[in-house]
Amino acid sequence: MVGTMAKIDDSVKKKIPELRFEGFTDAWEQRKLGEVATLSSSKRIHLSDYVTEGIPFYRGSEISTGGITGNQELFISQEKFDEIKEKYGVPSEGDILVTAVGTLGNLWKVDSRRFYYKDGNLIQISKIQVNSDYLLTYFTGGIGKKRLLDSAAGSNQKALTMVKMREITVDFPSEDEQKKIGAFFKQLDDTITLHQRKLDLLKEQKKGYLQKMFPKNGAKVPELRFAGFADDWEERKLSSGLREYTDRVIVEDDKEYYQISVRNNFGGITLRGSKMGNKIGRKRQAKINLTKYPQTLIFTRQTVEQGGIGWVDKYCDGAIVTENMPTISLDTSVFSKYFLTNLFQTRIFYKNAILDNIEGGSAQIAIHESKFLSSTLLFPNLDEQEKIGQFFKQLDDTIDLHQRKLDLLKEQKKGFLQKMFV
């Protein structure tokens, strides 16, 4: 697709986009949104109109950057929907809905599904006299998104209004070029959606495997197991293969020190930058020592219950940590690193190593490493641990690959949005 575009000479950048399909040279026109489309809202739906199932009733929270979220909570009856449709009309396929409160400016191009929506939460763009895919893309990013958000009214809680949106200036090329641009971004969006679905499916599959490949509470063996393994899993304390170490450092004012961040939701450990010693409040710190302890585990006492735990990569070697981030060494002759990585994500680990170690009445949740290491959990022999660990590592690598592809596509879209519009 990109190969059919031409880059525009700097002298005309102000009148036409930087990147353009070949064969188009005319300058773009400007028109107000209210001149090319009708903006409206819905009729009021009362609490008494809600039913437990029926026609979906959307609010702003159901519309995300990727369309309908699927988190459907509210419904109206078929009879109420038919009444509204006959008296006032309902959104048609090809109309565009825009979130007007909360997260402003999320857009969804209406498909063939039947639904209604909440007044004030969403603004409907209908009777569109230009290419609807082009208009949808225009407001998705770049100058169009900026103009949309800049039109929001209010001081504390901003909101989009039909009055202000009608006055938004929109840049339009010819109808044929609109179709080209609209089709290009629709294809790109469809590709992004496809990759997102694949990624979501892989994550759901992993959740299923985590439930089935580790014993449930009270069981001695998992529901799903590799061939050749039949023995019961045995109870062991984490301390049998994990040991805390402290490589003490006294911070000096004239030296530079690297620090780390432990991300929640098992997001890993990253460098958060460096500081001179005179900018660091606590002078008594500890240092990560991968030379002596190559498999080092770190968690944050206050956030381990939110998945703030992970293994230290080589580029973090030598970074300093506070006493709230215990450094723990793994004995690989006892536990498999990748087995533990996924054990940490199971419900049974959360119960036995986290919930059972939270002291009642604490104002702030914190798990001390001594209690963490004394937690008892079920483990198979090392061979089975390795087998399970490698299975999940391969699955995680596949998930990471799909995530990188998805991120790249989203970045490419951002770039095209900046370069393909005036």
Strand, coil or helix: 95: coil
pLDDT at 363: 58
Could you tell me the CA-to-CA distances from 157 to 102, 122, 152, 297, 412 in Å, in that order? Answer: 8, 15, 9, 43, 32
pLDDT in tens, 305-323: 999 999 999 999 999 999 8
Cα–Cα distance between 22 and 38 in angstroms, integer? Answer: 32
How far apart are alpha carbons 33 and 37 in whole angstroms? 6
CA distances from 127 to 99, 160, 419 (A): 18, 20, 28
| Residue 1: predicted pLDDT | 47
DSSP E strands in 87-203: the ranges are 96-99, 107-109, 116-117, 122-126, 169-172
pTM: 0.83
* Amino acid type, 141: G
DSSP helix/strand/coil, 379: strand
pLDDT at 323: 87
Q: How far apart are CA 138 and CA 143, in angstroms?
A: 8
Q: What pLDDT digit, counting tens, does each position of 76-112 carry?
A: 999 999 999 999 999 999 999 999 999 999 999 999 9
Rounded CA-CA distance 165/149 in Å is: 9
What Å distances lie between residue 156 and 99, 101, 104, 106, 152, CA to CA?
17, 12, 14, 20, 11
pLDDT digits (tens, 9 = 90+) for 250-304: 999 999 999 999 999 999 999 999 999 999 998 999 999 999 999 999 999 999 9
Give which of 25, 33, 18 is closest to 130, Cα–Cα.
Answer: 33
Name the CATH code of domain 234-379 (choices 3.40.50.700, 1.10.760.10, 3.90.220.20, 3.20.20.80). Answer: 3.90.220.20
Name all contacts of 197-206 with Cβ < 8 Å and 24+ positions apart: 198/402, 199/399, 199/402, 199/403, 199/406, 202/395, 202/398, 202/399, 202/402, 203/399, 205/395, 206/392, 206/395, 206/396, 206/399
Domains 29-172 and 234-379 agree in fold: yes
The H or E element containing residue 273 is strand 269-276
Q: In this predicted structure, what is the pLDDT of residue 14?
A: 54
Res 12: pLDDT: 46
Would you list the domain boundaries of the chain? 29-172, 234-379
As a CATH number, domain 29-172 is: 3.90.220.20
Q: For tokens 């793994």, name the residue.
A: 330
Query: pLDDT truncated to tens, each residue of the chain (422 aa)?
Result: 444 665 655 534 457 899 999 999 999 999 999 999 999 999 999 999 999 999 999 998 888 877 787 677 899 999 999 999 999 999 999 999 999 999 999 999 999 999 999 988 999 999 999 999 999 999 998 899 999 999 999 888 899 999 999 999 999 999 999 999 999 999 999 999 999 999 999 999 999 999 999 999 889 999 999 999 999 999 999 999 999 999 999 999 999 999 999 999 999 999 999 999 999 998 999 999 999 999 999 999 999 999 999 999 999 999 999 989 999 999 999 999 999 999 999 999 999 999 888 865 555 678 999 999 999 999 999 999 999 999 999 999 999 999 999 999 999 999 999 999 98
Residue that has been written with the tokens 């929270």 in this structure? 61
